[in-house]
Amino acid sequence: MINLNNFSSFFIANWKLHGDFKFIDQFISELILPEDRSKCVVICPTSVYLDYISRKNKNLYFGAQNVSQYKEGSFTGEISCSSLSDLKINFCIVGHSERRKIFNETNYDVNLKSSQLIENNIIPILCIGETLDEKNNGETNNVLAKQLDEGIPELSNSDNTIIAYEPVWAIGSGLTPTYEEIDNTHQFIKKYHAKFNKYKVVYGGSVKSNNAKEIVSLSNVDGALIGGASLKSKEFTKIIKD
Residues taking part in catalysis: 96, 166
CB of 229 to ligand PGA, least distance (A): 6
- For 34, 66, 116, 128, 165, the CA distances from 109, given in Å and listed in that order, are 36, 11, 11, 13, 18
* CB-count exposure of residue 68 (10 Å: 0-12, 13-18, 19+): buried
Q: What letter would DSSP give residue 15?
A: -
* Per-position b or e across 107-139, b if 16+ CB within 10 A of its CB: bebbbbbbbbbbebebbbbbbbbbbeebbeeee
Q: Give me the residue whose beta carbon is nearest to ligand PGA.
A: 227
CB of 232 to ligand PGA, least distance (A): 11
* Least spacing, CB of residue 164 vs ligand PGA, in Å: 7
- Please answer whether residues 34 and 43 qualify as being in contact, where contact means their C-beta atoms are separated by less than 8 angstroms: no
DSSP 43-105: EE--GGGHHHHHTS-SS-EEEES---SS-SSS-TT---HHHHHHTT--EEEES-HHHHHHS--
* Nearest to ligand PGA of 31, 224 (CB atom): 224
Nearer to ligand PGA, 121 or 241 (CB): 241
Q: Closest CB to ligand PGA among 5 and 173?
A: 173
CA–CA distance, 65 with 53 (Å, rounded to integer): 14
Looking at the Cβ atoms of 159 and 238, the one nearer to ligand PGA is: 238
Min separation Cβ 76 and ligand PGA, Å: 27
Q: Which residues bind ligand PGA (CB under 6 A)?
A: 14, 166, 171-172, 204-207, 225-229
- Minimum distance, C-beta of residue 129 to ligand PGA, in the bound complex (Å): 10
Question: 39 vs 99, which CB is nearer to ligand PGA?
Answer: 99
